[in-house]
Structure 1
Amino acid sequence: SLRLTNRVVHFFRQNYSKCTKPIQEQDVRFLCNLPMIMRAGIHSEVYMPFLKQHPALERFSSLSREGSMAICHVAMEGQHCVAGQELFVNGDEARNMVILVSGILHYYPKCGCIPIVVEVGSCVGEVALWRHWRHCGQLVAATTSEVVLVNAKKFRSLLDKGEERGWAVAPLRSYARLALGQLLGPCGHAELWNGVDVSRLTDEAFAPWTREPHRSRLRKMLTPLWSVSEGPMVRGES
């Protein structure tokens, strides 16, 4: 029918006419053969700006440069999404925090059919970074979109190791408790920041801390971090 044809044409123009799928790191074999120290530097330059879009992680990076670089190298990756692609569904085990780089995402709460529009720069599913979690909604790409994923299991494992290396993990744990209280409270959306003053929570958690000089070298930092194992970020959470 003419109506269906118009819908197909509109979908094509919105998602395929401008460009093909962007090249991802795994598509370039040469990058996989670079020395580890070079790949770590590339990952830091690519992902650090997105990591710093989260106020608490931006503050953490200013206190623990090696920690933030390790997160970029070990726990972060980019993903291209086509329109209609599901990033997660209700009941799934939460594996990543999603940072929207470009495009439009729709979040459908468990008990609602009207989507919440996710804005560029927003973080979805942050709870997974701080505790084991199952999604209570559905996240769908409304248009062709680019996202950055922070792997929750690797993130928690890195920070557990980072405590031994003197990273500023304590204020992150403090922030995590405050954030979970808001996100999982009666007024929170659990997986979205809507109504949560993340900057205020960050200021409260990091207030006792002052910037310390960065002493460790990147090569020294990276060597023991390849074998990551799961561990809870917030003490006492399961």
Structure 2
Amino acid sequence: MEVKPLMVTDVKALGVLSADVRSELQFELCQPYLMRNGFYRVCQHVETAVLKSIMVDCITFTFYRAGEAAFEAGQDAKHAYFIERGTLEYQQNRRTSKVKRKLRVGAHNEIIIAEAALWTFWDHVGTLTAPNPASMLKMNVDKHTKIIAESELMGEFAAELALHFRTRLSMAKPPQAPWPNDIEVPCTSFDEMIVCASKIVRSLVSRIGLELVKDQVGQWASAVFRNHPKNIEELEKEVTKSKCMLMANTHGDVERLAAVSTINISRCDGTTLMQLGTWDPESGLRVSCKLPGTKQELGETAQEAMTRVLETDLLPFRGLVDLSQLPVHHEVEWSRSEKYNMRTKYLRTIFQLEVRNEMDLPQLQRLETDPSRDKGPPMVKRHSFRGFMGMSAGRTLTRRSGSQNKMDLDSLGCIADTHEIVGLPDGESQRVLICGWLHEEEVDRFRGEGEGKAVLERLMSRIHIDELVMSSVKDLTPTIVPISDGSEVVARDRTVSYDNRTDEKSMDTRSVDNRSEELYGILGALPKDAHALDD
């Protein structure tokens, strides 16, 4: 027998309470669900009254019986949803969508279903059904929009988010990303959008995080627990200069946030072009094994950041890459800042490019090694080991007394010969990116903190940077092309709306229209380039 859970509307006694008390009760009931999203966390600190109005006037607790649909494919999206309890089934089919798909979502997913309706005019591309009794918080998007538009500050903030959401929604298509749906629109999490926002928006979010850090430090200072953030004054200077971004997560912990754009250039032989270090006249040699890339700057997308890298550090590959056609992989990486004793969250975008082994790139300057420049201590032979670093069979490895296996000096030279250590110079900045083609197991070894890093540092100390390497290469033209399967994908214009229906005549151009102008007010609240997408 189906038992309906007790809902707020079922408690008749609430009717005798004053409007203020009922509003406070509604606020307390809704708050845990909305605080999962960064936009509402900012709203809580900046305009608490606006957040309360959203919770009281826009949200209703709704019960769904087994088999009942919350919405169906093709309908205009009038609501966004937060799952309170139960599991729901979301299904797409070829009649109304680009893909056929079925999945289940529950409260543990902590997502906003049909979030796209908050930032665009969205049509549902799938059907959401409750296979068993379930309940959700249903948010009226038109009321939500009206309330936010009445706040000048939150209206401007929402306008920029809507602009970023629209851009990413328009770009969400294979091979860059899976097609968007009511459950997820790729690359539109609050973290991913805010880290690429304008300086004023980033500053607003970072200032909130900084104040939370100061409050927490003050509380911890009087407690036994001492593992709190440090060097707060320096951290504040970085935030002021927009060199660092802070953001409070769902649990109230403040983290540093950064977006990084990298490229994975691989060959058919299984090797990948890895950045082994950099050299410039002022800083000299710096050693680090990682994919070539850069941190995204203010207001910069991952694609724009990678374009900047291709115009400088990876200039020889500039003509080989159409970033809009490359597969993209996203991952999150964590590290801890010793300086500030805080966690840093890296949002990493990795573009995938495969090239053929036979390359004719005169811009790639082969770097020679000079054994006389070796800075490592002498090595003592212990025993032989075969197959390490792709060297010829029978190469002798050595071990230092009291340490792990190390390679002898001849083997260090062999690495350079085998893995084509090359320099990619930037003629204007006099900076050289030092790279090598490595296998996966070699990448893992060089990225480590022990033996591999020591070997890499020793190898790099033998590299000689000469005048030939420092010559400018900007007038040279690449002569290889990326591997293609023969299919051609036409880049979609950002102004063209995404639509999942197969009948082009029925396309509703509203599906990606930006709400930022009409709903969050005022053209003056929009960024200067807000209409660039409409050109």
TM range (shorter): 0.7 to 0.9
Larger Rg: 2
1:202 to 1:153, Cα distance in 2 relative to 1, 3 A: same
User: Gapped runs of 5+ residues in structure 2?
Assistant: 212-513, 520-535
2:69 is aligned with 1:86: yes
Return the letter of the residue paired with 1:52: M
1:108 counterpart residue number: 91
Deviation per residue, 1:110-131 (Å, 9 max, x gap): 3344312224222111121123
1:33 to 1:182, Cα distance in 2 relative to 1, 3 A: farther
Return the letter of the residue paired with 2:117: A
Q: Is the 8 A contact 2:58 2:140 kept in 1?
A: yes
1:33 to 1:183, Cα distance in 2 relative to 1, 3 A: farther
Q: 2:123 aligns with which of 116, 134, 142?
A: 134
Q: 2:104 aligns with which of 117, 130, 134?
A: 117
Deviation at residue 32 of structure 1 after TM alignment: 2.9
2:142 is aligned with 1:153: yes
User: Which has the higher relative contact order, 1 or 2, with Cα contacts under 8 A spaced 6 or more apart?
Assistant: 1
TM-score by length of 1: 0.74
The structure whose residues are more often strand, as a share, is 2
2:517 counterpart residue number: 235
2:415 counterpart residue number: none
Return the letter of the residue paired with 1:101: E
Q: Which moved more, 1:35-44 or 1:175-184?
A: 175-184
Give the match's secondary structure for 1:124: coil
Give the match's secondary structure for 1:115: strand
Distance 1:175 1:201 in 2: 7
Give the match's secondary structure for 1:32: helix
Give the match's secondary structure for 1:234: helix
2:163 is aligned with 1:180: no
Q: Is the 8 A contact 1:99 1:122 kept in 2?
A: yes
1:189 counterpart residue number: 180
1:200 counterpart residue number: 192
Distance 1:107 1:149 in 2: 16
1:28 to 1:129, Cα distance in 2 relative to 1, 3 A: same
Give the match's secondary structure for 1:90: coil
Residue identity over aligned pairs, in percent, reads: 18
Q: Is the 8 A contact 1:160 1:233 kept in 2?
A: no
Distance 1:32 1:96 in 2: 26
Deviation at residue 178 of structure 1 after TM alignment: 1.4
2:30 is aligned with 1:47: yes
Deviation per residue, 1:136-187 (Å, 9 max, x gap): 2111113222211111011011111222xxx423222211221232234323
- How many residues matched? 199
2:34 is aligned with 1:72: no
Distance 2:515 2:44 in 1: 17
The structure whose residues are more often helix, as a share, is 1
Q: Is the 8 A contact 2:68 2:129 kept in 1?
A: yes
Distance 2:28 2:119 in 1: 25
2:44 counterpart residue number: 61
Aligned-CA RMSD value:
2.5
Deviation at residue 194 of structure 1 after TM alignment: 5.6
Return the letter of the residue paired with 2:103: I
Q: Is the 8 A contact 1:90 1:135 kept in 2?
A: yes
Q: Is the 8 A contact 2:69 2:128 kept in 1?
A: yes
